[in-house]
Amino acid sequence: MSVVLIINKAKILTVIKKKDLRKQQILQAAIEVFGKSNFQSASISEIAQRANIAEGTIYQYFKNKEDLFFSIPAQKTEAFCDELDLHIEGIHDAFNKLRKLTWYYLYFFKTNPDYARILMLEMRVNKSFFKSRTFGKVRVFNDKVLEIIKEGQEENFIRNDMEGRVIREVLLGFLEHRVTRWLLKEEKYDLLANYGEIFDLVFNGIKSPNAERRHM
Amino acid sequence: MSVVLIINKAKILTVIKKKDLRKQQILQAAIEVFGKSNFQSASISEIAQRANIAEGTIYQYFKNKEDLFFSIPAQKTEAFCDELDLHIEGIHDAFNKLRKLTWYYLYFFKTNPDYARILMLEMRVNKSFFKSRTFGKVRVFNDKVLEIIKEGQEENFIRNDMEGRVIREVLLGFLEHRVTRWLLKEEKYDLLANYGEIFDLVFNGIKSPNAERRHM
DNA sequence: AGCTAAGATTGAACAAAGTTCATATTTATT
DNA sequence: AATAAATATGAACTTTGTTCAATCTTAGCT
């Protein structure tokens, strides 16, 4: 094994890439199949079919069905965080950062409904997901939200009499709930409709009493 | 069949009761088994074992595993609504009704964690649950919340510039999120801890601007 | 180019769990 | 007590995730 490593570095890279490619191919098929239905009613055979491979091959790349399932949100969540950074970039005050974050959150799920279904209706509600490698990616986002909230507390327009974590719970709780409802109602309405209204509603609850109407 | 109906009414009642009793027996076993794990990893054979019956018997009382699963929340939710009515009874203003409702909601799930797991982590996130007979019971609760919110809007301490439904979404969204988090963290902390704090947080978001500190 | 070994792929076979159904048992009626 | 109806049973069936021995493909070497 280590011999190979010494002899030819370039070749190994292409091998790794090929492995990665096949993994991507399986993941893509998995997103489509899992996204259309759910974990239990999606079948390995359909995923294999859609990826044009044999069922057994999947198990060379993923430990089992659950492992494959849990691997789906990893890249997407990473992409979400990266793009979010871009959207936040250049905004200086925490209020507008939070406002933009809220908008982007809803926008992202609106434009990625398959991923939304998987993350909101299956992962978010699965105990072992919280122990999975993939959940680390979600935590990055959660940390970022808390950071902005603390920033807002220092800027004194988010109330200081409560822990940042509790405030985050209200904001994320509402967002998750909203996306979940939208999915369950089969995406029949616009997830971003009256977005300003609802942000105002949540925000008025978490804004500092002595920041009256400063940002309205 | 109809002959029996004409001949002996009392006997039939006892037969119905017996059928009901067996159904209860199966449901109780199902609550225990589903509550400990989840839909997919709970097995019919374990439920049958715990109810001291054969696997096939279950299918005399329930169409299939999903039907059995969906039947669990029906009675519990009904009991929840009935008790909630008692707790609300005698409270005259919408503010304190909402406050009590919030408290009772958290209290109920705290004291019924098996049911909580089933409702929050499995049902609430399942599309076909929304079409099930059982969901009607949940809707009764939702309607009650909306009613109280509208009452509050008339009493003018809940903001009137937004639809009652949106306000309900924030309140219930937060409550569901809180219970869900608590379950996922394996009930390691007290669900009712700093309950006043969090109600204040949500309420300040939905209270009418011209009801300043009236109820604080 | 051809050989060899490692790696990747395959799909038949296996295992586990939901569901069905012919048979057996229990209960109710006369 | 006899008969019929209702209920319960568990072995057999079906489906689907998973394994694995056999086959094919690719990379490295002469």
Find tokens 């219970």 and name the residue: B179
User: Is the model more confident about A139 or about A216?
Assistant: A139
User: Is the model more confident about A167 or about B143?
Assistant: B143
Could you tell me if B118 and B207 are in contact, meaning their C-beta atoms sit under 8 angstroms apart?
no
Query: What pLDDT band is residue A15 in, cutting at 50, 70 and 90?
Result: low
Computed over every residue of chain B, the mean pLDDT equals: 84
Verify if strand D has an atom below 7 Å from the CB of A38.
Answer: no
Q: Of all protein residues, which has its CA closest to the C1' atom of D6?
A: B15
Verify if strand D has an atom below 7 Å from the CB of A44.
Answer: yes
- Looking at chain A, the whole-number percentage of residues with pLDDT higher than 70 is 86
Distance CA A166, CA A162 (A): 7
Query: A128 to chain B: nearest residue by CA?
Result: B184
For chain A, which residues lie within 8 Å of any Cβ of chain B, measuring from their own Cβ? 39-40, 120-122, 124-127, 130, 162, 166-167, 169-170, 172-174, 176-178, 180-181, 184, 186, 194, 197-198, 201-206
pLDDT score for B212: 44
User: In the structure encoding, which two tokens stand for residue A83, read together?
Assistant: 């793009």
Q: Chain-centre distance of CA A17, in angstroms?
A: 25
> A178–B173: do the CB atoms touch at under 8 Å?
yes
Distance CA B184, CA A126 (A): 8
Q: Cα A30–A35–A39 angle (5° rounding)?
A: 75
pLDDT score for A49: 95
Could you tell me if B202 and A162 are in contact, meaning their C-beta atoms sit under 8 angstroms apart?
no
pLDDT score for A17: 60
Could you tell me if B178 and B116 are in contact, meaning their C-beta atoms sit under 8 angstroms apart?
no
- pLDDT tens per residue, range A23-62: 999 999 999 999 888 898 899 999 999 999 999 999 999 9
Could you tell me if B191 and B110 are in contact, meaning their C-beta atoms sit under 8 angstroms apart?
yes
Nucleotide nearest to A18 (CA to C1'): C8
Query: A170 to chain B: nearest residue by CA?
Result: B174
Contacts of B204 in chain A (CB under 8 A): 204-206
pLDDT at residue B23 above 70? yes
Verify if strand D has an atom below 7 Å from the CB of B1.
Answer: yes
Q: Which of A154-158, B28-32, B201-205 has the highest mean pLDDT?
A: B28-32
- pLDDT tens per residue, range A108-159: 999 999 899 999 999 988 888 888 888 999 999 999 999 999 998 888 888 8
Q: Supply the DSSP string of B96-163, one letter for each residue.
A: HHHHHHHHHHHHHHHH-HHHHHHHHHTGGG-GGGGGSTTHHHHHHHHHHHHHHHHHHHHTTSB-SSS-
**Cα R_g (chain B), whole angstroms:** 21
Query: What pLDDT band is residue A77 in, cutting at 50, 70 and 90?
Result: very high
- pLDDT tens per residue, range B114-169: 899 999 999 988 888 888 888 999 999 999 999 999 998 888 888 888 888 888 88
Could you tell me if B159 and B73 are in contact, meaning their C-beta atoms sit under 8 angstroms apart?
no
Distance CA B67, CA B132 (A): 9
Contacts of B197 in chain A (CB under 8 A): 162, 166
CA of B2 to C1' of C20 (A): 28
CA of B204 to C1' of C9 (A): 61
User: In the structure encoding, which two tokens stand for residue B1, read together?
Assistant: 């069949």
Distance CA B117, CA B184 (A): 9
Verify if strand D has an atom below 7 Å from the CB of A37.
Answer: no
- At a CB cut-off of 8 Å and minimum separation 6, what does B43 contact? B33
CA of B35 to C1' of D14 (A): 27
**Residue B71: what residue type?**
S
User: Is the model more confident about B170 or about A45?
Assistant: A45
CA of A59 to C1' of C12 (A): 16
Verify if strand D has an atom below 7 Å from the CB of B7.
Answer: no
Nucleotide nearest to B40 (CA to C1'): C17
> pTM here?
0.82
> B206–A203: do the CB atoms touch at under 8 Å?
no
CA of A15 to C1' of C8 (A): 11
- At a CB cut-off of 8 Å and minimum separation 6, what does B168 contact? B142, B145, B146, B149
pLDDT at residue B208 above 70? no
Task: With CA atoms as reference, report the closest residue to B87 among B100, B99, B76.
Answer: B100
**Residue A200: what residue type?**
D
Computed over every residue of chain A, the mean pLDDT equals: 84
pLDDT score for A18: 62
Which range has the worst mean pLDDT, A146-160, B67-81, B179-193? A146-160
CA of B109 to C1' of D29 (A): 69
- At a CB cut-off of 8 Å and minimum separation 6, what does A12 contact? A4, A5
Query: What pLDDT band is residue B68 in, cutting at 50, 70 and 90?
Result: very high
Q: How close B86 comes to chain A (CA, Å)?
A: 28
Q: Of all protein residues, which has its CA closest to the C1' atom of D27?
A: A11
For chain B, which residues lie within 8 Å of any Cβ of chain A, measuring from their own Cβ? 38-40, 120-122, 124-127, 130, 162, 166-167, 169-170, 172-174, 176-178, 180-181, 184, 186, 194, 197-198, 201-206
The SS3 assignment for B37 reads coil
- Looking at chain B, the whole-number percentage of residues with pLDDT higher than 70 is 86
pLDDT at residue A64 above 90? yes
> A169–B176: do the CB atoms touch at under 8 Å?
no
pLDDT score for A3: 32
Q: Chain-centre distance of CA B69, in angstroms?
A: 14
User: Is the model more confident about A70 or about B161?
Assistant: A70
